[in-house]
């Protein structure tokens, strides 16, 4: 369990999974001022504190056409710069702001624009550092799988969505596999008819790829790389990636592997 603490994966082993999950019973509780080192967004389910990473199921059911849906937690709303994340090290895994050398992290790349998507993660996934992915020839980054939600409405930090997975980019960040799932809110009429990555404009996909390629250059680092000839892979491929990372998460928290 690389980099995990008792407040994360080990904690999950001490309580039972939520049965018959109902997204309407999820609420958030904000502690501290934003931005600050003390700021937290905690999650409750039916009035009880939960871990979003471990307790909100990956599986969000199916849409009216029978397509698999997933639960996405929004960490960084469209147009903002504070580098927020589900904190793997804290008990109950609240959202907090990432730090570097004790200072809060903000996107420095094109700060007047900020994040070019609603950014967050698919719950109950884990990119295992010990699993060398054949698409990237690199181990995972020890995080849940990242999400680029392309809807125009900025999310609320901590908001939980049901999303369709349209495609993915195989990003490699500092030698680690860092999948970027491209998704759409299933309840947004503007994206209701999108089914696969071919339904997203080439220009939009390129904007996403280039932003994530370059954003660390503003911090004096090199460009991020992409596997699979930099192609945005389709929904079927992307869902296989999620199935694999769900299995790795199951092993992380001590569950037997089982198919979604």
pLDDT of residue 256: 72
Q: Which residue has the tokens 């960084």?
A: 76
**DSSP one-letter code for 140:** B
- Token couple for 153: 């409405």
- Rounded CA separation 14/17 (Å): 10
Instruction: Determine the distance from the C-alpha atom of residue 76 to the mean position of all C-alpha atoms in its chain, rounded to a whole number.
Output: 10
Q: What is the pLDDT of residues 24-39, one digit of tens each?
A: 999 999 999 999 999 9
> How does residue 5 score in pLDDT terms, banded at 50, 70 and 90?
very low
- Rounded CA separation 52/158 (Å): 9
Q: What is the pLDDT of residues 196-255, one digit of tens each?
A: 999 999 999 999 999 999 999 999 999 999 999 999 999 999 999 999 999 999 999 988
pLDDT of residue 257: 65
Domain ranges in the chain are: 65-85+100-252
Instruction: Determine the distance from the C-alpha atom of residue 191 to the mean position of all C-alpha atoms in its chain, rounded to a whole number.
Output: 19
Is 17 in contact with 53 (CB distance < 8 Å)? no
pLDDT of residue 255: 81
Model pTM?
0.94
pLDDT of residue 222: 97
- Rounded CA separation 112/115 (Å): 10
pLDDT at residue 259 above 90? no
pLDDT of residue 14: 58
- Rounded CA separation 35/30 (Å): 12
Bigger pLDDT: 100 vs 11: 100
Read off the pLDDT of each residue in 143-160 and give the average, rounded to a whole number: 98
Q: What is the pLDDT of residues 50-87, one digit of tens each?
A: 999 999 999 999 999 999 999 999 999 999 999 999 99
Is 126 in contact with 4 (CB distance < 8 Å)? no
The SS3 call for residue 73 is strand
Report how far apart the first and last C-alpha atoms of the chain are (Å, whole number): 22
Superfamily (CATH) of domain 65-85+100-252: Inorganic pyrophosphatase (3.90.80.10)
Burial zone of 198 (CB within 10 Å; 0-12 exposed, 13-18 middle, 19+ buried): middle
Residue 253 CB neighbour total at 10 angstroms: 20
Buried b (16+ CB within 10 A) or exposed e, 209-237: bebbbebbeeeeeeebebbeeebbbbbeb
């Amino acid at each position: 369990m690389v980099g995990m603490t008792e407040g994360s994966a080990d904690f999950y082993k001490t309580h039972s999974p939520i049965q018959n999950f109902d997204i309407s019973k999820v609420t958030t509780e904000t502690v501290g001022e934003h931005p600050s080192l003390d700021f937290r967004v905690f999650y409750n389910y039916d009035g009880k504190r939960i871990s979003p990473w471990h307790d909100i199921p990956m599986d969000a059911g199916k849409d009216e056409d029978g397509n698999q849906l997933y639960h996405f937690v929004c960490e960084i709303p469209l147009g903002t710069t504070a580098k927020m994340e589900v904190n793997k090290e804290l008990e109950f895994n609240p959202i907090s702001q990432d730090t570097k050398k004790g200072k809060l992290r903000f996107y420095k790349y094109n700060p007047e624009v900020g994040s070019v998507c609603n950014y967050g993660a698919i719950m109950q996934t884990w990119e295992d550092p010990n699993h060398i992915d054949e698409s990237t020839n690199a181990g995972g980054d020890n995080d849940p799988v990242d999400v680029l939600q392309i809807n125009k409405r900025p999310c609320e930090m901590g908001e939980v969505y049901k999303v369709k997975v349209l495609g993915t980019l195989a990003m490699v960040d500092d030698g680690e596999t860092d999948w970027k799932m491209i998704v759409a809110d299933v309840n947004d009429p503007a994206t209701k008819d999108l089914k696969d990555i071919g339904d997203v404009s080439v220009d939009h996909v390129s904007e996403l790829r280039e932003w994530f390629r370059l954003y660390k250059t503003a911090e004096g680092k090199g460009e991020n790389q992409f596997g699979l000839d930099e192609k945005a892979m389709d929904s079927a491929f992307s869902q296989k990636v999620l199935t694999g990372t769900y299995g790795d998460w199951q092993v992380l928290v001590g569950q037997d592997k089982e198919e979604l």
